[in-house]
């Protein structure tokens, strides 16, 4: 057996020994993990004693330790630092893992023991009651109470879906990596801010094109190009490359794959007794139903659409004033919005970027956590990491007590999936002993020296840091309730509420310091940034909501799967989407909903959680954004509580009331 994965890690701080772990090690380790976990499950179901919480539920929580450790390392590498060998193994392992999990959750004898515990257990504590309820629902939703034939069919669907979803994500990564636009026209380069040119040069260097300005489909590359490139044809080319990702009828085309995913999900939902996949997924979320989700989306859509109409008119006016003889198109929106922003607020992003150096922004986020929760982050110099871009921090309470480890991986590279996310190598629990978490934040900022962020990227860093705090400050007994193991439309609350501190003047004046002089950002610039926060919200809200409606459309259909383009067109027409706005994600690269299950029929979760975060931050504003009592209540009832109670209960414990939608509308300037 290979030491790195089969044995306990005796590395400094309990981190995985990345230098010793090779791709060849994983398959054997997964097989051993499956075997060990199967033996543990068998011991539970053959236990001669009457089923109890201790001998059934707690033993389930203890099971799978080796498998969880192997999964954490493998899948974090698969998304953050992959290669051909890992991708091939991922396609092989994904269906095996899905089959393994399906066999556990469809084990009729195990389900019978859980049912008996649910029916007979008395004297359980609140977190234990929640654990039993959630576990019982999980088994039912996996098909444990179906007849053997239908259990077998659901199991087959789960296995096939695992392969398809893995292939979907890999296709998007390959398509994204294959695109590059080399810009050498002096007139175009001259129109780009220096920081955009520097990032493009760095990308060229990474791709072996030294001295060339290279733009890619990464958000950190395409967004500033669309904002500042004065060549409309090039903007259109880049935009169409992005929106056509994995939709080119080549080996990486995702149309057939995503259609099969939608079909299999619909078939599984019907086998499990649900009307459709949306009905299946939403029955286990705060929203509860498609009707509730659509009710919220519709309430916000109307003012957002109207605001977008006004914004489009303003942009078209600029086009005409400049002598343009064309109608506003999607690849024009960011370019002319930047012009209007500069006119209306006298705000040039190029003037802001020097104040948002990556390292200082990160320290700013740490400082907020220190003031709110009394914790501190200490760089660990000797920590083993999987890539040189990764940093590791020891997180402590004010008295020096270890909370956990926090890793940051912020820069884009070809071996890394796009987007931003939080994950962990070890989650917190204290069932038999205290297990401290190892949490990681990943982003995809353009690699340059120094790395300067846009305001949106600053918010992204604070957003993922909020997820990180949810994992770090977890204080639960059972692993399955740890940190971010909460309802999908509740998990974004800690991340989105953290974004508010990024633009608070007293916070920004501390972390936003000029990269060269070290001088604090001028208050006049801070005021302009704050004043512009509600700018372009018609567009921003519309593109997000359009993607949410598209997600629901894919998962409210039955087995009659439509053509991809036809469905996208129908959704846009049904909601009256402005022709100059596309959904934030089109189907073939909509990784949230087709690369995995969690956000399928759940992309709405960001706006659902924004209702919570807008309402919650008003409490902070009323009491003081660093009020210790308010911060303490948020830590206790939201960050520490994990999945120990229903989200609505946790929120009421913190806020003292149910959330209201009006703060969100005010926050976006749509009231």
Which residues participate in catalysis according to the annotation? 464
Please work out, in degrees rounded to the nearest 5, the angle formed at the alpha carbon of residue 478 by the alpha carbons of 473 and 656: 55
Q: Return the H-helix or E-strand segment holding 138.
A: helix 126-142
**Going by DSSP bridges, is the β-strand pair 438-445/402-411 parallel, antiparallel, or unpaired?**
parallel
Location of structure tokens 């086998």: 271
Please work out, in degrees rounded to the nearest 5, the angle formed at the alpha carbon of residue 598 by the alpha carbons of 248 and 103: 105
Distance of alpha carbon 262 from alpha carbon 550, whole angstroms: 12
Do the beta carbons of residue 396 and residue 419 sit within 8 Å?
A: no
Distances (CA, A) of 236 to 231, 281, 331: 9, 37, 5
Distance of alpha carbon 75 from alpha carbon 425, whole angstroms: 10
The dihedral formed by the CA atoms of 18, 21, 27 and 30, expressed in degrees to the nearest 10: -50
Distance of alpha carbon 406 from alpha carbon 424, whole angstroms: 9
Distance of alpha carbon 56 from alpha carbon 113, whole angstroms: 7
The sign of the CA dihedral 16, 36, 111, 277 is: positive
Do the beta carbons of residue 608 and residue 489 sit within 8 Å?
A: yes
Helices assigned H by DSSP within 244-376:
255-271, 277-282, 290-321, 330-345, 349-352, 358-373
List, in order, residues 6 or more apart from 628 with CB less than 8 Å away: none
How is the chain split among helix, strand and coil, in percent rounded to 5? 60, 5, 35
**Going by DSSP bridges, is the β-strand pair 391-396/421-426 parallel, antiparallel, or unpaired?**
unpaired
Distance of alpha carbon 176 from alpha carbon 245, whole angstroms: 7
**Going by DSSP bridges, is the β-strand pair 421-426/402-411 parallel, antiparallel, or unpaired?**
unpaired
Distance of alpha carbon 56 from alpha carbon 475, whole angstroms: 23
Upstream peptide bond of 362 is cis (omega within 30 degrees of 0): no
Do the beta carbons of residue 460 and residue 412 sit within 8 Å?
A: no
């Amino acid at each position: 057996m290979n030491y790195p994965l089969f044995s306990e890690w005796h590395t400094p701080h309990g981190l995985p020994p990345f230098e010793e772990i090779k791709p060849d090690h994983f398959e054997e380790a997964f097989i051993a993990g499956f075997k060990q976990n199967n033996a543990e499950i068998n011991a539970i179901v053959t236990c001669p004693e009457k089923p109890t919480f201790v001998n059934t539920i707690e033993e389930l929580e203890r099971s799978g330790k080796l498998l969880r450790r192997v999964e954490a390392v493998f899948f974090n590498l698969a998304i953050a630092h992959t290669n051909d060998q890992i991708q091939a193994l991922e396609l092989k392992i994904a269906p095996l893992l899905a089959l393994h999990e399906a066999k556990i959750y469809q084990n009729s004898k195990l389900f019978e023991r859980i049912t008996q515990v649910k029916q007979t257990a008395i004297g359980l504590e609140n977190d234990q009651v929640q654990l039993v309820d959630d576990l019982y629902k999980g088994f039912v939703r996996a098909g444990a109470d179906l007849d053997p034939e239908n259990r077998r069919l659901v199991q087959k669907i789960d296995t096939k879906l695992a392969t398809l979803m893995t292939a979907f994500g890999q296709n998007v990564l390959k398509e994204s990596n294959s695109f590059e636009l080399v810009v050498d026209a002096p007139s175009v380069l001259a129109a780009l801010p220096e920081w955009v040119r520097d990032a493009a040069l760095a990308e060229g260097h990474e791709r072996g094109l030294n001295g060339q300005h290279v733009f890619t489909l990464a958000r950190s590359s395409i967004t500033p190009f669309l904002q500042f490139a004065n060549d409309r044809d090039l903007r259109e080319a880049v935009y169409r490359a992005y929106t056509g990702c994995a939709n080119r009828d080549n080996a990486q085309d995702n149309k057939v794959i995503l259609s099969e995913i939608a079909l299999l999900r619909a078939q599984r939902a019907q086998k499990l007794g649900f009307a459709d996949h949306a009905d299946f997924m939403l029955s286990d979320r705060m929203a509860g139903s498609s009707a509730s989700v659509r009710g919220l989306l519709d309430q916000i859509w109307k003012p957002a659409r109207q605001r977008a109409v006004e914004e489009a008119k303003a942009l078209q006016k600029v086009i005409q004033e400049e002598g343009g003889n064309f109608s506003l198109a999607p690849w024009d929106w960011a370019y002319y919005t930047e012009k209007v922003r500069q006119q209306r607020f006298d705000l040039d992003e190029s003037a802001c970027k020097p104040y948002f150096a990556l390292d200082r922004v990160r320290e700013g986020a740490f400082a907020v956590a220190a003031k709110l929760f009394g914790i501190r982050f200490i760089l660990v110099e000797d920590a083993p990491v999987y890539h040189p871009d990764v940093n590791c921090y020891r997180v402590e309470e004010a008295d020096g007590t270890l909370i956990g480890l926090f890793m940051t991986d912020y820069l884009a590279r070809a071996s890394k999936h796009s987007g931003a996310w939080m994950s962990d190598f070890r989650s917190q629990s204290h069932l038999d002993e205290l297990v401290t978490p190892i949490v990681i934040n990943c982003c995809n900022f353009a690699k340059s020296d120094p790395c300067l962020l846009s305001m949106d990227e600053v918010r992204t860093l604070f957003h993922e840091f909020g997820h990180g705090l949810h994992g770090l400050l977890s204080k639960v007994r059972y692993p399955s309730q740890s940190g971010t193991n909460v309802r999908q439309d509740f998990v974004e609350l800690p991340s989105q509420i953290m974004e508010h501190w990024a633009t608070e003047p007293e916070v920004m004046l501390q972390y936003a310091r000029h990269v060269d002089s070290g001088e604090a950002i001028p208050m006049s610039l801070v005021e302009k940034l704050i004043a512009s926060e509600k700018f372009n919200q018609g567009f921003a809200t519309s593109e997000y909501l359009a993607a949410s409606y598209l997600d629901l459309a894919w998962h409210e259909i039955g087995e009659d799967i439509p053509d991809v383009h036809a469905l996208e067109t129908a959704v846009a027409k049904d909601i009256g989407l402005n022709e100059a706005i596309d959904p934030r994600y089109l189907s073939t690269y909509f990784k949230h909903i087709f690369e995995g299950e969690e956000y399928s029929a759940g992309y709405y979760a960001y706006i659902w959680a924004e209702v919570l975060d807008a309402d919650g931050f008003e409490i902070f504003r009323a009491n003081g954004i660093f009020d210790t009592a308010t911060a303490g209540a948020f830590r206790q009832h939201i960050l520490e509580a994990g999945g120990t109670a229903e989200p609505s209960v946790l929120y009421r414990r913190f806020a003292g009331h149910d959330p209201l939608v009006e703060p969100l509308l005010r926050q976006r300037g749509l009231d």
